[in-house]
Chain A
């Protein structure tokens, strides 16, 4: 049993039009841990994490049922502002997507939107975020340069810095390293291990070795259902469900 989970998901159902994509997911995400979600293409794992910060509402014809609690509060309650939720629960996507503007502007964007206008304060936030994303040393002398001049791995860390700039409590990452080379991947994974001391992290990944390397808990999804959810070392050593075993060992099952 997870005591005081950061996020609690109860019977979450998501459909796109007539198609039911999530069939009633229930799980608890512990705070200050890295939770990985694995599963074959089309299992619903990206839909699940998008549902955790209401990004799923941006998908046309998406309907959401069930509940998602953040620190005990239902984020889908009618009086809850989605933008506030997305500030508290940040997201980083598979393909690095920095804005086509300066490195500084990318990171300062979020805080500016939230009303931080004082130059000195913005400078501090930008520096702190880039430090937390392990990117400060590589960018401190080129903050005015266009973000697109950075390498793929640096761009992804910039996107993480951008997400961190609004001081989120949770970070959702949808295959954050799948477009990166091995060294950049290692840097992102190191970064996540450092960040979890302050932030709760949920990570969707195709890469099982990555899930084993960085996550504390792993959930296996198949056809819109959560088949199994347990400590990572247990799931990968002796899964309880034969479907999990078949997937992680690469069998027809």
Chain B
């Protein structure tokens, strides 16, 4: 932190650092949840799926502690301008992170219901969506911690477009990648649902990016794109 960024009240700097690291920690947990949910899906590992479901309580716990810290800082320090924006956007960002973890739980619940794993051509497209979403999450949290934008908007919208394209494919061609012949309806519907969950994860990352723009520059920008033809299920 440069001298110009330090507050007269040293405790405020320390609390803001604590806020930053707790929120980053929450993002790391959300990322791990997503990775574990996708791994559970690959291996049809019901135990791992159960762990993802149980771990959501821990995510909620971190969310509450970050929220409490934000409220405390608002009341005690009466922050203004950039400081106020950082704290209010953190309140919104932890909600996005909580939803990302919730979608991982939704994927895990699908694992518990499925009888067999997805065919490779189906699973690989879902993995691609998950990888892109995780890259987006990592990128936005990097910007959150550094308070630097460095072309964040373009990077994020580029990846979101890609995720949306794959989601569009699942919705418009749900049987793509499944063997011809007898249709396993549970599998097909589950694949579409999982693609929807992953699309929502990407959406939340875009929300986080917009919030970071507001925190850093005080400007409201809408990074959400509506590509013609995409069905928003």
Contact = CB atoms under 8 A, between A and B. Distances in A.
Interface of A: 208-209, 212, 236-239, 244-246, 248-253
A250 B4 contact: no
Contacts of A212: 80
Contacts of B5: 251
Given A212-B80, A250-B7, A252-B6, 14 more contacts: A208-B78, A208-B80, A236-B80, A236-B81, A236-B84, A238-B81, A245-B82, A248-B80, A249-B7, A249-B81, A249-B82, A250-B8, A252-B4, A253-B4
21 contacts: A208-B78, A208-B80, A209-B78, A212-B80, A236-B80, A236-B81, A237-B80, A238-B81, A238-B218, A238-B219, A245-B81, A246-B4, A248-B80, A249-B82, A250-B7, A250-B12, A251-B4, A251-B5, A252-B7, A252-B8, A253-B4
A246 B8 CA distance: 10
B41 to A, nearest CB: 44
Among A238, A244, A248, A251, residue most surrounded by chain B Cβ atoms (within 10 Å): A251
Among A209, A236, A239, A252, residue most surrounded by chain B Cβ atoms (within 10 Å): A252
Interface string B66-83: 000000000000111111
- 10 closest A-B pairs by CB: A238-B218, A248-B80, A250-B8, A249-B83, A236-B80, A250-B7, A245-B81, A249-B81, A248-B81, A251-B7
B211 to A, nearest CB: 14
A143 to B, nearest CB: 40
A237 B12 contact: no
Contacts of B79: 249
A249 B80 contact: yes
Among A236, A249, A252, residue most surrounded by chain B Cβ atoms (within 10 Å): A249
A237 B78 contact: no
Given A249-B80, A250-B12, A237 B4 contact: no
A112 to B, nearest CB: 44
A238 B85 CA distance: 9
B3 interface: yes
Contacts of B80: 208, 212, 236-237, 248-249
B233 interface: no
A192 B122 CA distance: 67
A238 B78 CA distance: 15
B8 A237 contact: no
Nearest to B2: A252
B183 interface: no
B16 to A, nearest CB: 11
Contacts of B9: 250
B147 to A, nearest CB: 13
B3 A252 contact: yes
A123 B5 CA distance: 58
Contacts of A237: 80-81, 84-85, 218
Interface string B82-114: 111100000000000000000000000000000
Contacts of B7: 249-252
